[in-house]
């Protein structure tokens, strides 16, 4: 009996937790509900860990059939789980970070009436997410895919008494449905052309010389990618993610930063065999990722809501991951998914800690100087910022550098734009950090009085995640530093990267140097510009940087102002009018059409029969004259 | 054959029960017991047919009925759904009016019609089945005599139903003219490359006549008015089990007889399917009343079932079985919840989750199944019929259109869920939800999920 | 019989030409006659001529008055049981050939009608006063 055969236990535990908490949410005491929720996820984590070591030592990938799901003629789709290095990597991220966030939630949600219900939803989410990554065919993945969408909807609208929040939930669900449509069509195309949905058969057929024509690969790949666009918040389907911040903060950390939004990356990495045959689709993926990364980053610079900044930053980082996928560097994308899961979960939980201390306030203009009262939060948040900004030694540095190196090799234009994105990342993250934790407090007296460090159940996950954010990157050292790239070697059994030439060492050193310089310089600028908040204007700035004032002004005019203007413009025109306009316009069109059709229902039998006869006449005309 | 005889006798017994007794609840209990009995007889028949593998399907009534294993299996499933319907809504049926026994008698007669439609092999039986199925429905639609809307529904249904029956008969007559036979086997002689225009007209008239009964656009106009006007318990019956029965008749005829003529009629059915999906889904979005929304949604669901007609392959047969059962079970459950409420509009659902959490939860499951969310029966149903169309391979555009329409349907189904969970309000109930109601709804819910997990259970032919 | 089947099998649109011709002649005749009488007939409209003809009796009030449902009920029941009798003619002719089995079938048929008859009597459908 090997560990791998116990894989069904992994989703089973959260399911049990969901059932217990879901059925008894009125009667189970809060502490017990939290305990059940956390322990079930911990149990899954332990099993995942066992399977991880087994897969690591044997390198085997296996398919475990639980039961027959659909049998119809030649088509047979079993309910089966795929255990290989890729799914195991995601298992560890989901259950590990999921557990930490459950622990955090026991404290964060303690004052909420519906806490047990919340844990039920959270467990259901973990269950669905595990189905998504464990499924051995696209159908099981799709079931998990829909399940996480549903849970996300339930959790965004968790505080449903606020109308805006329920609207946000609805928006998220509907945007995701648009993406799902693409996924479904992709699935049907695969079914139609290859007669199977299981990864093994499908990729096997792809490898053994194809049956369909090459343009079909591109279409299937693009359809699947549309699904990923919805779930992973890429242009033009990204606007739901910032709105989704209406949910409780741990939910944002778990679903909208660490796990669910990376489902799109998982899907593409899983389908690497397909995407390798679809170069046009890859280019499309890369450009969508690149544009998303840039636009989201510019918007993040302008936001004053602490969670909105992080939300746009998430969109931007997801864009980076798609850039890597577009280069055929699937393992790099997975690497970034992992490090991003660490530091973005950390940042979100840190912001939750801040919001908790501020009594629900999210506006960073009313914060400042929180570091004095909240040492642990401050330090861990700083580590998160250093990691996401790409300061050498922290995890984000290694993964982001790998992405940039991949783009440098394949597409210099995307590399330049990516570098620009990385630059803005460093800038806005340190702007956020500075405005929140340093300087003087700008809120009310009551709030100042209330400031306190969060309880241990909240700081403990912060510390763990901070440690991971520092050291998480050492499993994927660049070639100039280490001969072996641990993660890439591990994943190579299940994901096939597009082959690439080894880069010359001095080129690689140069790239590392450039990204390091950019990260460091713009982090410092980010701190410096916001040392004293904007609204005390230039005098404050000139005091801090007394002898370098013209540099500040230069940066202000050359970088900050145009960026502000650009982000303003993008916010106002592209997002509000362009994208929202298109989405709303389609809705209006449907409304209008439906309104007309509805009027046909007059209630007159004579008219009904008249319509029917007209219809019959048309059908006859069609079949006698047209179809021949 | 045993089930047909038994259902007829049950109908007669129920008629006389209403003469002999005025005790409403007694009559309901009698009906429940008799439908259990009917279900048992169906199972017995299935058991017999399993033991008789290898033997040719028995023919009855001068070869006008051919009760093959599919017919018997489908009859059994429909009896099961009818039993579930009576268990869930029996008490509500008794509240519609005075003639409780007759209502059950009419339902039993409709079951006879469904059994005939499941196993006919002669156009005469098709016609008799359709009429046995339709005429009781006209009466049931108008059973709430003092309600003007109910009377109107009945009259409208009757007028338009007779019109469509005329068209159906015309189609049968034309096919007789082309082949000289009523036997559906003989229609296979029709040659696709030299098809008699008489036969083609006959096929078209049949599509229209049967399309009317399953409320396919543009023959759907009666549906919203009739389903909305009829007493709710009977709407639940008419829009589910009856419709499924007609669909099987449709499928049987077009697959068994006209399967090799697809290039003549498939595009027509595809056009009808597209129109049905469009009108059903788009119009449902604008309804204020949940009952009327369900009427339109039943048009939309019929659009999906039409996929089984136009894809002539084995998966289509499986698809129609799963669709019939999954859709019937979820819709009957949905109506059983609806009938508990005082106000049938969306606002009537406001805050139901607070007041009756169990009821709200069951409703959510039913709606998710109707919308086709995975792990519910509705997903499997949609999956199978669309799979059939994909395997058939000529109507990919229609499949994609159907997926878009399925996405639209999520909107109006979820509006109910939003009202229940996310809006505040006092959902008023007609009468209290008893433990029995909750138990039955819970079982219905389990069935919905069971079908979603193991659709194979329905396919063990 | 054989020739009939043959004709059926070989039927093409052209074979229906006589039917179409007859249809056209029939329609044409009706239109012609109605039109000609309309044009040729003298028209003298007087009040007496324009009132509805009711068997020579002076007209009394509006004809659209509610009628007791009993009339319709009795009428429809009459039709139902009248149709039953029609089935006995073919049975009577084939009485010998159909034998015992046929007799049983007819017996069952009558039994069902008896059930229906008892039902309507018990339900009071034939009671005129209520």
| A71-115 confidence digits (pLDDT tens) | 766 677 788 888 888 888 899 989 999 998 898 888 888 877 788
From A348's Cα to the closest Cα of chain B, the distance in A is 26
Cα atoms in the Cβ-side hemisphere of radius 13 Å centred on B25: 0
pLDDT tens for each residue of A197-246 = 888 888 888 877 656 677 788 888 888 998 888 888 887 777 778 777 87
Share of chain A above pLDDT 70, in %: 84
Note if the bond before A236 is cis, omega within 30 degrees: yes
Q: Is pLDDT larger for residue A428 or for residue B42? A: B42
Cis peptide before B276 (omega within 30 of 0): no
Whether the full predicted model's pTM is greater than 0.80, yes or no, is no
**Residues from chain A contacting residue B410 (CB–CB below 8 Å):** 173-174, 177
Pick from A157, A608, A623: CB nearest B221: A608
For B140-188, how does the pLDDT look when each residue is reduced to its tens digit (9 = 90+)?
999 988 888 899 899 999 999 999 999 999 999 999 988 888 988 888 8
- Give A264-314 pLDDT, tens digit per residue: 899 999 888 888 888 888 888 999 898 888 888 877 777 778 888 888 889
ipTM of the complex: 0.81
Tell me, yes or no, if A594 comes closer than 8 A to chain B by beta carbon.
yes
The domain containing residue C89 runs over which residues? 69-123
Render pLDDT for B200-217 as a digit per residue (tens, 0 to 9). Answer: 889 999 999 999 999 998
A210 — phi, psi (to 5°)? -80, 160
Residues in chain A closer than 8 A to B403 (CB atoms): 181, 184-185, 188
- Looking at the domain assignment, is residue C129 inside a domain? no
**pLDDT at site A555:** 40
The lowest-confidence range among A150-164, A444-458, A530-544 is: A530-544
Chain-centroid distance, C-alpha B173:
27
Tell me: do C119 and C74 sit in the same domain.
yes
> Quick check: A123 and A18 in contact, CB under 8 A?
yes
**Same domain assignment for residues C37 and C80:** no
Rounded Cα distance, A568 and A581, in Å? 17
Q: What pLDDT does A79 receive?
A: 84
Q: Does A599 touch chain B (CB under 8 A)?
A: no
Cβ–Cβ below 8 Å for C5 and B198: no
pLDDT exceeds 80 at position A129: yes
Contacting partners of chain C (3+ CB pairs under 8 A): B
State whether residue C49 sits within 8 Å of chain B by CB. Answer: no
Question: Which of B4, B9, B15 to probe the C interface (max C CBs under 10 A)?
Answer: B15
Tokens representing A498? 């597009």
From B19, B177, B180, residue closest to C119, measured CB to CB:
B19
Whether B196 sits inside 8 A of C11 (CB atoms) is yes
Name the most confidently modeled range: A573-587, A591-605, C18-32, C62-76. C18-32
Measured in angstroms, the CA of A595 and the nearest CA of chain B are apart by: 7
Rounded Cα distance between A548 and B366, Å, is: 68
Cβ <8 Å between B197 and C13: yes
CB pairs under 8 A between B and C: 20
**B190 → chain C, closest CA residue:** C9
Mutate to test the interface with B, among C5, C7, C8 (most CBs of B within 10 A): C8
Residue in B with minimal Cα distance to A165: B422
- Is position C42 within any domain? yes
**Residue C58 is assigned to a structural domain of this protein:** no
Pairing of strands B65-66, A75-83: unpaired
Does the residue C60 lie in any domain?
no
Find residue B120's DSSP bridge partners.
Answer: B65
CB A150 within 8 A of CB A163: no
Mean pLDDT, residues B65-75 taken together: 89
**Residue B286 touches partner A, C-beta closer than 8 Å:** yes
Please check whether residue C61 lies inside any domain of the structure: no
Whether C33 is covered by a domain: the verdict is: yes
pLDDT for B14: 92
Min Cα–Cα distance to chain B from C29, Å: 26
Give mean pLDDT, residues A517-528.
80
> Which residue of C11, C115, C119 is in closest CB contact with B198?
C11
Average pLDDT over residues B256-284: 89
Using the beta-carbon criterion (under 8 Å), do A177 and B279 form an inter-chain contact?
no
Contact B404 A623 (CB under 8 A): no
| Averaged pLDDT for residues C63-72 | 79
Tokens of C75: 């009428």
Q: Which residues of C touch B197 (CB under 8 A)?
A: 13
Residues C116, C75 share a domain: yes
The helix/strand/coil state of B181 is coil
Q: What is the pLDDT of residue B7?
A: 94
The closest of B101, B112, B103, B98 to B140, measured between CA atoms, is B103
Q: Are strands A75-83 and A62-72 parallel, antiparallel or unpaired?
A: antiparallel
C44 shares a domain with C75:
no
Q: Say if C59 falls within a structural domain.
A: no
Has residue A67 got a pLDDT over 80? no
Reply yes or no on whether the pLDDT at C113 is more than 70.
yes
Q: Does C40 touch chain B (CB under 8 A)?
A: no
Query: Do both C83 and C114 map to the same domain?
Result: yes
| Total structural domains within chain C | 2
- C78 shares its domain with C46: no
pLDDT at site A578: 56
pLDDT above 90: percentage of residues in chain B:
49
- Top pLDDT among C15 and A382 is at A382
Alpha carbon of A426 to those of A307, A391, A525: distances in Å?
Answer: 17, 9, 9
Q: Are C76 and C42 in the same domain? A: no
Q: What confidence score (pLDDT) does residue A581 get?
A: 61
B270 alpha-carbon distance from chain centroid: 20
C37 found inside a domain: yes
Give the ranges where A232-329 is alpha helix by DSSP (H): 240-243, 249-253, 263-270, 272-275, 279-302, 306-326
Give tens-digit pLDDT for A429-480: 888 888 888 877 777 777 777 777 878 888 888 888 888 888 888 877 776 6
In 3-state terms, what secondary structure has residue B217?
Answer: coil
């Amino acid at each position: 009996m090997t560990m791998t055969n116990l894989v069904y236990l992994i989703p089973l535990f959260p399911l049990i937790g969901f059932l217990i908490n879901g059925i008894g949410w009125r009667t189970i005491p809060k502490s017990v509900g939290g305990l059940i929720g956390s322990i079930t996820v911990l149990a899954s984590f332990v099993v995942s860990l066992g399977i991880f070591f087994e897969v690591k030592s044997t390198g085997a990938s296996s398919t475990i059939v639980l039961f027959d799901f659909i049998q119809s003629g030649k088509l047979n789709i079993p309910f089966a789980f795929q255990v290989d290095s890729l799914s195991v990597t995601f298992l560890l991220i989901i259950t590990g970070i999921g557990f930490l966030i459950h622990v955090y939630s026991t404290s964060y949600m303690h004052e909420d009436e519906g806490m047990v219900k919340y844990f039920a939803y959270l467990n259901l989410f973990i269950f669905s997410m595990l189905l998504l990554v464990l499924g051995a065919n696209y159908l099981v993945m799709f079931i998990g895919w829909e399940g996480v969408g549903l849970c996300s909807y339930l959790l965004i609208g968790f505080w449903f008494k606020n109308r805006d929040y329920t609207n946000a939930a609805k928006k998220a669900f509907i945007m995701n449905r648009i993406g799902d449509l693409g996924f479904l069509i992709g699935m049907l195309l695969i079914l139609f052309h290859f007669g199977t949905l299981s990864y093994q058969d499908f990729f096997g057929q792809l490898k053994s010389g194809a049956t369909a024509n090459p343009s079909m690969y591109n279409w299937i790949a693009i359809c699947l990618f549309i699904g990923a666009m919805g779930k992973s918040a890429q242009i033009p389907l990204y606007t739901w993610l910032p709105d989704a911040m209406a949910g409780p903060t741990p939910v944002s950390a778990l679903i909208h930063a660490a796990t669910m939004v990376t489902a799109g990356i998982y899907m593409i990495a899983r389908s690497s065999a397909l995407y390798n045959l679809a170069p046009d689709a890859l280019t499309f993926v890369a450009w969508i990722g690149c544009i998303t990364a840039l636009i989201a980053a510019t918007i993040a610079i302008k936001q004053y809501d602490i969670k909105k900044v992080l939300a746009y930053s998430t969109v931007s980082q997801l864009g980076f991951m798609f850039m890597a996928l577009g280069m055929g560097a699937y393992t790099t994308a997975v690497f970034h998914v992992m490090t991003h899961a660490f530091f973005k979960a950390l940042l979100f939980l840190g912001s939750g800690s801040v919001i908790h201390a501020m009594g629900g306030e999210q506006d960073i203009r009313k914060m400042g100087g929180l570091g004095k009262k909240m040492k642990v939060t401050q330090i861990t948040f700083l580590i998160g910022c250093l990691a996401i900004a790409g300061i050498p030694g922290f995890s984000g540095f290694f993964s982001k550098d790998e992405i940039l190196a991949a783009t440098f090799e394949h597409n210099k234009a995307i590399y330049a734009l990516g570098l620009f994105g990385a630059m803005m990342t460093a800038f806005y993250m340190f702007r956020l950090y500075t405005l929140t934790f340093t300087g003087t407090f700008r809120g009310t007296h009551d709030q100042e009085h209330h400031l306190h460090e969060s309880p241990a159940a909240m700081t403990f996950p912060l510390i763990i995640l901070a440690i991971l954010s520092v050291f998480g990157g050492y499993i994927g050292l660049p070639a100039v530093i280490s001969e072996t790239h641990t993660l890439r070697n591990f994943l190579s059994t299940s994901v096939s990267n597009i082959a690439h030439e080894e880069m010359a060492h001095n080129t690689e050193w140069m790239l590392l140097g450039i990204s390091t310089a950019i990260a460091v310089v713009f982090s410092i600028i980010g701190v410096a510009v916001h040392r004293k908040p904007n609204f005390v204007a230039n005098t404050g700035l000139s005091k801090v940087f007394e002898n370098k004032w013209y540099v500040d002004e230069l940066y202000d005019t050359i970088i900050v102002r145009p960026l502000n203007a650009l982000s303003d413009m993008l916010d106002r025109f592209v997002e509000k009018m362009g994208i929202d306009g298109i989405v709303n316009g389609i809705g209006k069109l449907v409304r209008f059409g439906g309104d007309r059709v509805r009027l046909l229902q007059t209630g007159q039998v004579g008219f009904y029969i008249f319509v029917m006869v007209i219809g019959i006449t048309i059908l006859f005309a069609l079949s006698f004259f047209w179809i021949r | 054959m045993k089930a047909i005889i038994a259902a007829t006798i049950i109908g007669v017994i129920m008629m006389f029960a209403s003469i002999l007794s005025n005790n409403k609840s007694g009559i309901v209990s009698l009906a429940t017991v008799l439908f259990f009995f009917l279900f048992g007889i169906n199972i017995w028949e299935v058991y017999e047919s399993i033991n008789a593998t290898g033997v040719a399907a028995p023919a009855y009534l001068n070869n006008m009925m051919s009760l093959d294993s599919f017919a018997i299996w489908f009859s059994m499933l429909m009896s099961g759904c009818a039993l579930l319907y009576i268990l869930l809504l029996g008490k509500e049926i008794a509240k519609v009016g005075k003639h409780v026994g007759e209502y059950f008698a009419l339902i039993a007669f409709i079951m006879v019609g469904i059994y005939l439609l499941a196993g006919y092999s002669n156009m005469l039986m098709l016609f008799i089945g359709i009429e046995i199925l339709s005429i009781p429905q006209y009466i049931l639609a108008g059973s709430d005599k003092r309600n003007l809307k109910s009377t109107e529904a009945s009259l409208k249904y009757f007028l338009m139903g007779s019109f469509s029956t005329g068209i159906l008969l015309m189609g049968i007559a034309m096919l007789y003219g082309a082949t000289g036979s009523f036997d559906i086997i003989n229609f296979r002689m029709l040659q696709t490359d030299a098809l008699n225009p008489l036969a083609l007209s006959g096929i078209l008239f049949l599509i229209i006549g049967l399309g009317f009964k399953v409320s396919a656009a543009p023959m759907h106009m009666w549906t919203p008015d009739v389903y909305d006007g009829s007493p709710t318990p009977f709407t639940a019956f008419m829009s589910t089990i009856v419709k499924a029965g007609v669909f099987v008749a449709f499928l049987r005829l077009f697959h068994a007889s006209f399967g090799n003529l697809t290039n003549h009629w498939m595009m027509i059915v595809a056009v009808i399917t597209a129109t049905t999906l469009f009108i059903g889904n788009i119009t449902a979005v604008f309804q204020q009343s949940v009952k009327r929304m369900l009427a339109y949604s039943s048009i939309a669901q019929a659009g999906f079932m039409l996929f089984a007609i136009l894809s002539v392959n084995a998966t289509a047969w499986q698809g129609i079985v799963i669709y019939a059962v999954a859709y019937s079970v979820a819709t009957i459950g949905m109506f059983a919840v609806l009938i508990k409420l005082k106000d049938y509009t969306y606002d009537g659902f406001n805050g139901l989750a607070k007041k009756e959490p169990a009821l709200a939860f069951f409703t959510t499951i039913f709606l998710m199944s109707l919308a086709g969310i995975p792990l519910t029966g509705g997903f499997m149903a949609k999956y199978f019929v669309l799979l059939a169309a994909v395997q058939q391979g000529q109507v990919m555009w229609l499949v994609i259109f159907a997926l878009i329409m399925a996405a639209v349907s999520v909107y109006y189904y979820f509006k109910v869920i939003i009202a229940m969970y996310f809006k505040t309000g006092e959902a008023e109930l007609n009468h209290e939800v008893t433990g029995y109601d909750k138990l039955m709804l819970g079982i219905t819910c389990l069935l919905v999920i069971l079908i979603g997990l193991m659709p194979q259970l329905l396919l063990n032919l | 019989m054989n020739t009939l089947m043959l004709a059926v099998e070989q039927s093409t649109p052209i074979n229906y030409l006589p039917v179409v011709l007859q249809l056209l002649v029939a329609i044409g005749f009706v239109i012609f006659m109605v039109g000609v009488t309309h044009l040729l007939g003298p028209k003298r409209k007087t009040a007496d001529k324009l009132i509805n003809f009711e068997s020579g009796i002076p007209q009394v009030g509006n004809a659209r008055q509610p009628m007791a449902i009993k009339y319709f009920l009795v009428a429809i029941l009459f039709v139902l049981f009248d149709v039953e009798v029609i089935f006995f003619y073919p049975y009577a002719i084939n009485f010998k050939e159909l034998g015992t089995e046929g007799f049983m079938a007819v017996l069952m048929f009558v039994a069902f009608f008896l059930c229906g008859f008892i039902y309507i009597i018990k339900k009071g459908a034939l009671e005129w006063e209520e």
